[in-house]
Amino acid sequence: MSPSARCLLPAFSLICVHYLAADGFRPNLGPDLQRIEVTCGDVTLLLRQASQWTPGRIDFRSTPMTTERSAYGTVFSFPETGFIGTNHLENEPEELTRLTFFLDGKKVPASTNLNGQTFRLERESRIRTLSLKGMIELKGNRLYETATVSTDEDTPQKLLYHFMHAWVPTVSHFLAGSDGTPDKIISGALTDSEETMRKFYIQKAVDWIAVYDSASGQFGVSRLLEAPAEAGNISMIWNVPPTYRKYYLKCFQNDTIPAGFNGTWRMVTAFGESDLEDWEAAATKLAAELQE
């Protein structure tokens, strides 16, 4: 059996060890570098050639908040094929059509380490009938991610995931909330118990989610800034210890992306530090500050 076929849960191949199949893979565009680390302020972003220049890890104050053992970015699941996009190479790679790096507002060639005040990556690709435009920005200790999907044809989907964040397995708690109902916060603990193994949490349309890493005493908050309502946009965290506690924005589940669709999703993620007793208040405050 090939590495890409050895899945722990066939219905959700995101937990496949497909990253092993990426050894030696090079996308059709991009520099001849395996990894690029970008640091702006307190945030460091790893970009990987093997995952077609999508994120590979997010660090805050030199501490990994996410793991490299996963896929990030945007991935589509086609009914007859399965996943295509980002680090999912088990079916077919996406075709990159443009890749541009900017540091402190100026276009730059890629190098192993990029350091500056601001960073922007513009990435465009084609996946069958779909055009995908992505942008990643680091500025003001915040990570901004944008994805625009367009198509001229009806395109059935099993589901579409945006903004996948593979939080480290030491993440122990989560929060989620909606601005329209601020008194109805969703919260809970994330454990390694058999009862919670591979359980999905939240599974609602929310405006923001937060996670707390008990190992570092740091937390992350992600706010959805823009999303097309017709896409569904369900937030969820998949608990898969000891690999990760992974966030997904699920869209177009068992639905069709209609011909003529042109929709944009935007998310901002920021970080903080707190003890366990005070982290919920600190994260809720940061979630409010992330509104534009």
Range 130-136, long-range pairs (CB < 8 A, 24+ positions): 130/76, 130/155, 130/257, 132/74, 132/85, 132/94, 134/54, 134/73, 134/74, 136/45, 136/55
Which residue range is the domain that position 35 belongs to? 3-289
pTM of the model: 0.91
Please, what's the b/e burial string for 25-61 (b: 16 or more CB within 10 A of its CB; e: otherwise)?
A: eebeebeeeeebbbbbbebbbbbbbbbbbbbbbbbbe
Q: How many structural domains does the chain have?
A: 1
CA angle 181, 207, 46 (to 5 degrees): 155
| CATH value at residue 246 | 2.70.98
Cα(first)–Cα(last) distance of the chain, in Å? 48
Per-residue pLDDT tens digits for 203-237: 999 999 999 999 999 999 999 999 999 999 999 99
Q: What is the pLDDT, as a whole number, of residue 23?
A: 61
Per-residue pLDDT tens digits for 144-181: 999 999 999 999 999 999 999 999 999 999 999 999 99
Q: Check residues 93 and 58 and name the one with the higher pLDDT.
A: 58
Residue 10 has pLDDT above 50, yes or no: no
